[in-house]
Amino acid sequence: MAAVVLKHCWRGLLHNSGNGAVGTVGFKAFQGVRQKSTVQYISRPDLPKLAYRRVKGKSPGVVFLPGYGSNMSGPKAEALEEFCKSLGHAYLRFDYSGHGASEGVFSEGTIGTWKKDVLFMLDELAEGPQILVGSSMGGWLMLLAAIARPEKTKALVGISTAADHFVTAFKALPIEVRKECEDKGIWTIPTKSNQEGIYTVNMDFLQEAENHCILQSPIPITCPVRLIHGLKDEDVPWHISMQVAERVLSPDVDIILRRHGQHHMTEKDDIKLIVYTIDDLIDKLTTMV
């Protein structure tokens, strides 16, 4: 049975001293400026080169998977690198094809395309057991990767996990709206997640995405799973994380709902919670070894 944990504040998770310093060892990284990892590129036969940043270190490593249209340079990805450096753990972040500094055309990407990107990076650059951290669509890809590479995936941390979201959100539209979108060949989605204020998704993308939906049956994932979601998320409903928790086969699943949390989860306390969660999983996995 998944444990549901409501975290409305930081009491009981991280303690602050009188001068505001955070008492958890992992946060020592934030007290000074460290040199960031450099952007590197990895080639693939007949496929776009992928940009990545990597920090070598001990196991378990941490792999960050960004969201739809996002990249590896956001606040969460940066903070996780600092955290992993502070503990000496390996860390990998990268841009999917058509995203950020990677080659490729964004509009030509699909869930299947980006799943292949994730699996390639896991196979080629992630050494040993990994904790996968997926944000929004990255949470969907995280689950798909865990199913495909169970031997490499030792724990999962989903942030605003968007499993099946494009497909289920489209099917929830009134039939006349769906028909209009199908006639135009595109679906325009209002969002606060980019400067344009909309996402434009074509029908081919949606049809391909259906091949990767996972919420209609048990999800064959047995490693520890942590799902963090904001109750004020206007892009991806928090009940999706509840559905994931209900369907994964793992006996070790926690859901953490942030009362004031929004979709991006980039507020200071949001990032502290993400880091704390990963720190706790590292302790758990190290103890299990």
Active site annotation includes 95: no
Which residue of the set 164, 263, 264, 270 is catalytic? 263
Q: Are 65 and 118 in contact (CB under 8 A)?
A: yes
Active site annotation includes 46: no
- Cis geometry, peptide bond prior to residue 45 (ω within 30 degrees of 0): no
Q: Are 246 and 204 in contact (CB under 8 A)?
A: no
Which residue of the set 233, 235, 270, 280 is catalytic? 233
Those residues with Cβ within 8 angstroms of residue 195's Cβ, 6 or more apart along the chain or in another chain: none
Q: CA 238 → CA 36, 258, 273, distances in Å?
A: 33, 10, 17
For the purposes of burial, counting CB atoms within 10 Å of the CB of 6, is it exposed (0-12), middle (13-18) or buried (19 or more)? Answer: exposed
Active site annotation includes 260: no
Which residue of the set 70, 97, 135, 136 is catalytic? 136
Q: Report residue 106 as tokens.
A: 């964004």
CB atoms within 10 A of CB 174: 8
N- to C-terminal Cα separation, the chain: 24
Residues labelled catalytic: 136, 233, 263
